[in-house]
Chain A
Amino acid sequence: MITSAELRARIGQGRVHRSLYNDPEIFALELERIFARAWIYVGHESQVPEPGDFCQTRIGLKPMLMVRQADRSIRVLHNQCAHRGAMVVAADEGHAQEFRCCYHGWTYGTDGRLKSAPLLNGYPGAFDPADPRVSMNEARSASYRGFVFATLAPDGPSLEDFLGPMTKSFDDMVDRAPDGAIEVAGGVFKHAYEGNWKLYLENLCDAAHPIFVHQSSIEAARAQSDNVPSDGAGEIAIRQMRQNGAPYSFWETQVGIWTYGNGHSYLGDYHDDAKLVAALEDPDFRDYIAALEAKHGSARTKEILDVRRWNSNVYPNLSFMSQFQQLRVVHPLSPTRTVVYTYNFRLKGAPPSFFRRTIAFANTVNGTGSLVLTDDLETYNRIRMGLSSAGAEWLQIGRGYATDEANEDGGRRGKNSTSEIYIRNMFDAWLGYMTAVP
């Protein structure tokens, strides 16, 4: 067993030890001390709109079910039969009155409590079907504006305390809907890579990487004639790829990187293309802005659209982006394998054309066959290959260390937007979880 002192020794000032990305013992501890203790994003309420609706989700490696109850509340259950441990529900999503195990027919209510099981006469006298220990066990869950989190910890901070000022990023996501509500729609990407789960979140607020990692798509997009036919999808994609090519001077000074307790952070927006930013009031956004103004008036609409956040990371498994209604959930599979599920949200009350932009954007940045993402995935794979060598024992995460500063809302931010403050902030949280031995 790795001691707390040994864990602390693997994080230095501005550097972390390579074993944090590939050591099976570290990975097992992360599942136990981070994924089984933190609030983990498990889904959105719109995925289970009616009583009896369910969908599969995970906490770490554990298969879980998110289920809408008869009283419209939501429960998150271990998808595991109390009898022989089989996964009870096999469908990815669906609707059920009850859940029945395929093995011996143990049958549970949608609240996870055992309703019936055959041959109960064969059990010892002490066996009680009403005992919660023979249910599909429930995880503690809570939601913030429709985003559902669950935790395997019996107690701990409330969800809102855990999120802290990051609640504003969720507000931004929902407030952009003219009707004040959003729903998951438009399919799910499931992209896998051979690398540690932490690499994904570490990349999403990295303002220094696009110019280099995405050079091939930036150059290909810059050389593209805009006179070639597009039905709109290609235009969004090419504009986004060109934006990734903003110069270092822009990334350093114009973007902004903010960090908060529990490992959370967000990167400011880096877009100046009026076709990609509703706040710039391009005619393409006219119908959408009109729908917002009809509900909220022009002053409030301006206030809503002027929030310019890009990726918001909620440690340890969530990254979302309100401007194009994207949400990514990181699922660790092994020390060196990860799968990311990415979702889109439809803004209720927005014109249908607005959601088509969301889809085109998702294909561009989250698509398994994206011209952008595929170079990120290759980079994670190469980090995994490189870290297998003891030639360089430490990864550098010190950029911006000397100049980071406090923010008035209690967080800290990088004076330079390419500061790796958000990585150091995640490792502060990591060490806190990992050394909190009960």
Chain B
Amino acid sequence: MTIELAEAERFLLHEARLLDEARFEDWLALFTADAWYWVPIAPDQDNPHDTVSLIYDDRRLLETRVRRLANPSMHAQTPPARASRLVANVTAEDSAADALVTRSKLLMVEYRRNAQRLFAATCRHRLVARGSGLAIAWKRVDLVNCDAELEGIVLPF
């Protein structure tokens, strides 16, 4: 069963909506049981193991990250941030049986405590068929300013 680009795009928009609505548990449920989520610190970074990353979560750490996002003692989200994500330019990078790697553009405006930040990124998702829908096997987010001096990043991209 091949994954159609139109279906993948609908899925990415759904993912962005879950994040905008701070439904992080539902977002986590989009990932496969051995997924990883990666925000490199350098353009063209080739792996997350020999160089640090703004975020590199294997499935176990991703679960912990999402659990923390619901913790009332998380000072970094008191008050919480809100964000608005725009997903566009979705193309297919690579496809195989039951899998599709998409490349998309993300613009995310994050608001917290009277300040807005703008993030721009190229995202790659490896999407796999699961049941009647799709799941994320891995997600890589390359921020335009990945190597800049940045304040703390708490909301997922």
Which residues 355-378 in A have Cβ within 8 Å of B in the complex?
A: 355-356, 359-360, 362-363, 366-371, 373-375, 377-378
* A359 vs B34: C-alpha distance when bound (angstroms): 20
What 1/0 mask marks residues of chain B from 73 to 87 whose CB sits below 8 Å from any chain A CB? 111101000000000
Instruction: Determine how close the nearest CB of chain A comes to the CB of B71; give it in whole angstroms.
Output: 4
User: A234-B61, A339-B149, A368-B150 are contacts. A216–B71 as well, Cβ < 8 Å?
Assistant: yes
User: A217-B68, A378-B152 are contacts. A359–B60 as well, Cβ < 8 Å?
Assistant: no
Instruction: Determine how close the nearest CB of chain A comes to the CB of B56; give it in whole angstroms.
Output: 6
Kindly list chain B residues whose C-beta atoms are within 8 Å of the C-beta of A363: 52-53, 55-56
Kindly list chain A residues whose C-beta atoms are within 8 Å of the C-beta of B68: 216-217, 219-220, 371
B105 at the interface (CB under 8 A from A): no
State which of A191, A229, A373, A375 has its C-beta within 8 Å of the C-beta of B59.
A229
Which residue in chain A gives the minimum CB-CB distance to B155?
A369
B54 at the interface (CB under 8 A from A): yes
* A373 vs B152: C-alpha distance when bound (angstroms): 8
User: A186-B52, A233-B48, A233-B56 are contacts. A369–B147 as well, Cβ < 8 Å?
Assistant: no
Q: State the total of A-B contacts with C-beta under 8 angstroms.
A: 149
Q: Is the CB of A186 within 8 A of B50?
A: yes
Q: Is the CB of A231 within 8 A of B58?
A: yes
> Beyond A217-B64, A233-B57, A375-B74: 17 further Cβ-contacts under 8 Å?
A187-B45, A188-B147, A191-B149, A193-B151, A216-B75, A225-B63, A229-B58, A231-B58, A233-B48, A237-B61, A237-B64, A356-B50, A359-B50, A360-B49, A371-B64, A375-B75, A375-B76
Which residues 315-363 in A have Cβ within 8 Å of B in the complex?
A: 339, 344, 352, 355-356, 359-360, 362-363
User: A216-B75, A363-B56, A377-B151 are contacts. A224–B63 as well, Cβ < 8 Å?
Assistant: yes
Q: List 16 A-B contacts (CB under 8 A).
A: A188-B41, A190-B148, A190-B150, A193-B151, A194-B151, A219-B73, A224-B63, A228-B63, A233-B48, A233-B56, A237-B61, A238-B60, A359-B49, A368-B54, A371-B68, A375-B75
Kindly list chain B residues whose C-beta atoms are within 8 Å of the C-beta of A221: 64
User: A371-B65, A377-B76 are contacts. A187–B51 as well, Cβ < 8 Å?
Assistant: yes
* A369 vs B38: C-alpha distance when bound (angstroms): 11
- Interface size range on A against B: 35 or more
Which residues 206-225 in A have Cβ within 8 Å of B in the complex?
A: 213, 215-217, 219-221, 223-225
User: A220-B67, A229-B33, A379-B75 are contacts. A368–B58 as well, Cβ < 8 Å?
Assistant: no
Q: Is the CB of B152 within 8 A of A377?
A: yes
State which of A188, A189, A374 has its C-beta within 8 Å of the C-beta of B154.
A374
Kindly list chain B residues whose C-beta atoms are within 8 Å of the C-beta of A217: 64, 68
User: A191-B149, A192-B151 are contacts. A213–B75 as well, Cβ < 8 Å?
Assistant: yes
Instruction: Determine how close the nearest CB of chain A comes to the CB of B55; give it in whole angstroms.
Output: 4
Q: Is the CB of A187 within 8 A of B41?
A: yes
Q: Which 3 A-B pairs have the closest CB atoms?
A: A234-B61, A374-B152, A234-B60
B39 at the interface (CB under 8 A from A): yes
Q: Is the CB of A368 within 8 A of B57?
A: no
Instruction: Determine how close the nearest CB of chain A comes to the CB of B110; give it in whole angstroms.
Output: 13
State which of A187, A356, A369 has its C-beta within 8 Å of the C-beta of B39.
A369
Kindly list chain A residues whose C-beta atoms are within 8 Å of the C-beta of B154: 369, 374
Most A Cβ at <10 Å: residue of B42, B60, B65: B60
Instruction: Determine how close the nearest CB of chain B comes to the CB of A47; give it in whole angstroms.
Output: 15
Most B Cβ at <10 Å: residue of A220, A344, A366: A220
Q: Is the CB of B153 within 8 A of A369?
A: yes
B36 at the interface (CB under 8 A from A): yes
Most B Cβ at <10 Å: residue of A224, A344, A352: A224
Binding site for B on A (CB under 8 A): 185-194, 213, 215-217, 219-221, 223-226, 228-235, 237-238, 241, 339, 344, 352, 355-356, 359-360, 362-363, 366-371, 373-375, 377-379, 382
Which residue in chain B gives the minimum CB-CB distance to A339?
B149
Kindly list chain A residues whose C-beta atoms are within 8 Å of the C-beta of B48: 233, 359
Which residue in chain A gives the minimum CB-CB distance to B157?
A369
Kindly list chain A residues whose C-beta atoms are within 8 Å of the C-beta of B33: 228-229
* A224 vs B71: C-alpha distance when bound (angstroms): 13
Instruction: Determine how close the nearest CB of chain B comes to the CB of A377; give it in whole angstroms.
Output: 4
Which residue in chain B gives the minimum CB-CB distance to A241?
B64
Instruction: Determine how close the nearest CB of chain A comes to the CB of B116; give it in whole angstroms.
Output: 15
Kindly list chain B residues whose C-beta atoms are within 8 Å of the C-beta of A233: 48-49, 56-58, 61
* A190 vs B153: C-alpha distance when bound (angstroms): 12
* A235 vs B56: C-alpha distance when bound (angstroms): 12
Q: Is the CB of A369 within 8 A of B71?
A: no
User: A231-B36, A339-B149 are contacts. A220–B54 as well, Cβ < 8 Å?
Assistant: no
Instruction: Determine how close the nearest CB of chain B comes to the CB of A350; give it in whole angstroms.
Output: 13
* A193 vs B76: C-alpha distance when bound (angstroms): 12
User: A233-B58, A241-B64 are contacts. A368–B74 as well, Cβ < 8 Å?
Assistant: no
Kindly list chain B residues whose C-beta atoms are within 8 Å of the C-beta of A226: 60
Kindly list chain A residues whose C-beta atoms are within 8 Å of the C-beta of B62: 234
Kindly list chain A residues whose C-beta atoms are within 8 Å of the C-beta of B36: 231
Kindly list chain B residues whose C-beta atoms are within 8 Å of the C-beta of A237: 61, 64
* A225 vs B61: C-alpha distance when bound (angstroms): 10
* A366 vs B75: C-alpha distance when bound (angstroms): 17
